[in-house]
Chains A and B, each alone.
Chain A
């Protein structure tokens, strides 16, 4: 158990819909990272928040957005869903502002299926 929690574990929805994925970081961690894992694209970095502020963006679509709240939990919002958005979505947390010298702890993931 990494100490990072994600809800829901599974999510099934239809094309065109909007969903929200939630992540609670480990106690004391200020950074939250979101990743998408699919069979064809592998593990892809989406976005990084540190203490409520957006720090870096990766391959995140404009239909996707995220935020980190004052209690440090984070939400990833996916809208206008397409079949290709079906994937595992992971969040990870770390203590500091930069991941390069910090260990990231991954949550168990949310499996999103878009029908």
Chain B
């Protein structure tokens, strides 16, 4: 299966903007890109989803370039409570394809 790669870890400080990128070298035409947040011993929680260009909601922005070979999750002004693992997901919907990235551990320092 295609690999969806992310940096293993990132460090940041409170109040900074954090950008986490995922590569989608084998993304299919019908695939959407979704990002999830996961805290220890909890299930993943939906953050944002998009197909191309830019999507923004109350907690994050998602940037997807025209070739869709990557996606970038942007978290504005992170806080300590944003320390978690962040996963990207290539979601082929009705196909058999639901491929999670390798996950990025974001550590936010005071």
**Stretch binding the partner chain, chosen from A66-74, A76-84, A94-102:** A94-102
Determine which residue in B41, B87, B96 has the highest number of CB atoms from chain A within 10 A of its CB, and name it. Answer: B96
Which of under 10, 10 to 19, 20 to 34, or 35 or more describes the interface residues of B?
A: 20 to 34
The answer to the question of B66 belonging to the interface, with a C-beta cut-off of 8 Å to chain A, is no
Contact A90 B94 (CB under 8 A): no
Of residues 41 to 60 in B, which have CB atoms within 8 Å of A's CB atoms? 41-46, 49
Establish whether residues A43 and B93, one from each chain, have CB atoms under 8 Å apart when the complex forms.
Answer: no
Interface contact A109-B102, CB-CB below 8 Å = no
Minimum Cβ distance to chain B for residue A96 (Å): 10
Main secondary structure of the interface of B (DSSP, over half): loop
**Closest Cβ–Cβ distance, residue A16 to chain B (whole Å):** 28
- Within the complex, the shortest CB–CB distance from A50 to chain B, in Å, comes to 10
B107 within 8 A of A: no
B81 beta carbon closer than 8 Å to chain A: no
A57 (CB) vs chain B CBs: closest residue: B96
Given A106-B45, A108-B43, answer yes or no on A42-B102 (Cβ-Cβ < 8 Å). Answer: yes
A55 to B98 alpha-carbon distance, docked (Å): 12
Q: Are B43 and A98 in contact (CB under 8 A)?
A: no
Interface residues of B in 69-110 (CB under 8 A from A): 87, 91-96, 98-100, 102-103
What is the distance, in angstroms, from A5's C-beta to the closest C-beta of chain B?
11
Given contacts A100-B30, A101-B93, contact A45 B98 (CB under 8 A): yes
Q: How far is the CA of A44 from the CA of B90 in the complex (A)?
A: 12
Cβ of B94 to closest chain A Cβ, rounded Å: 5
Q: Does A56 contact B (CB under 8 A)?
A: yes
If the complex has contacts A42-B102, A100-B32, A103-B49, are A56 and B94 also in contact, measured as CB distance less than 8 A? yes
